Amino acid sequence: MFEVPSCLGDVDCDGDADSDDFFAFLDAFTNGDSRTCDIDRDGDCDADDFFAYLDLFHLDC
């Protein structure tokens, strides 16, 4: 069974969304690492993904 992560903004998988996750996302975004930064799964890393990540980052974890 597939489990949805409890904290969607948790890029480094340590159970919370903090500055480490934000900078990990920025690093992936800047380097075009679509495995991490393509939040909307449309094949690229663009402003839509950046703003989508900001929404996830602010969710309660």
pLDDT in the model for residue 5:
59
pLDDT in the model for residue 36:
93
pTM: 0.83
Residue 9 belongs to some domain of the structure: no
- What's the total number of domains in the chain? 1
Angstrom distance (rounded) from CA 34 to CA 15: 22
DSSP 8-state assignment for residue 4: -
The tens digit of pLDDT for each residue in 6-23 reads 788 999 989 899 999 999
Residue 35 belongs to some domain of the structure: yes
Half-sphere CA count of 16, side-chain side, radius 13 A: 3
Residue 48 belongs to some domain of the structure: yes
Residue 3 belongs to some domain of the structure: no
Higher pLDDT, 21 or 60: 21
Residue 53 belongs to some domain of the structure: yes
The tens digit of pLDDT for each residue in 33-54 reads 999 999 999 999 999 999 999 9
pLDDT in the model for residue 48:
97
Buried b (16+ CB within 10 A) or exposed e, 5-37: eebbbbbeeeeebeeebeebbeebbeeeebebb
Residue 5 belongs to some domain of the structure: no
Angstrom distance (rounded) from CA 21 to CA 37: 12
Range of the domain at 38: 19-57
